Structure 1
């Protein structure tokens, strides 16, 4: 009987590190330089997912986008007051 997971990439420690950094950058993006840290977190999340850390890599990428948007909204609200 063939293994159904033969085509799936095994999760590597590099994939997990990229995913964790993606989540960390998502949180940093809320408070500091949202476009920069949001984009960096997005890229790291995608890299983590491609290297095999699914679905957490995709969650990190999405969290980075949300963190960047939230950070920009908060920054705009603070600047306008």
Structure 2
């Protein structure tokens, strides 16, 4: 039986750093500029996933998008009240 993980990329430290920065930018996007930090977190999460940190990279990308949307919704709610 063939080893199915033989073609998978090994996780590098660059992938882990990109993923961690993606999560950090996702949190920053909730409090500050959602456009800049949300987009940066999305890109870093995708780069981390492509470089080999598969599940966490995609989670970081999704968290960045959710953080940016959350900031915009809360800001709109506060400005319209």
Q: TM-score range by the shorter chain?
A: over 0.9
Whether 1:23 and 2:23 are equivalent positions in the alignment is yes
Q: Residues of 2 paired with 1:36 and 1:79: CA distance?
A: 21
Q: How many residues align?
A: 81
Counterpart position of 2:53: 53
Query: SS of the residue aligned with 2:68?
Result: helix
Q: Per-residue displacement from partner, 1:28-67 (whole Å, max 9, x unpaired)?
A: 1011001111110000000000000010000000000000
Does residue 37 in structure 1 map to residue 37 in structure 2? yes
> Please, which runs of 5 or more residues in structure 2 have no aligned partner?
none
Residue 71 of structure 2: aligned partner:
71
Gaps of 5+ in 1: none
Cα distance in 1 for partners of 2:33, 2:5 equals: 40
Matched residue, 1:3: 3
State how far apart, in whole Å, the 1-side matches of 2:36 and 2:60 are. Answer: 15
Distance 2:5 2:73 in 1: 42
- What CA distance in whole angstroms lies between the structure 1 residues aligned with 2:53 and 2:33? 26
Query: TM-score when scaled to structure 1?
Result: 0.93
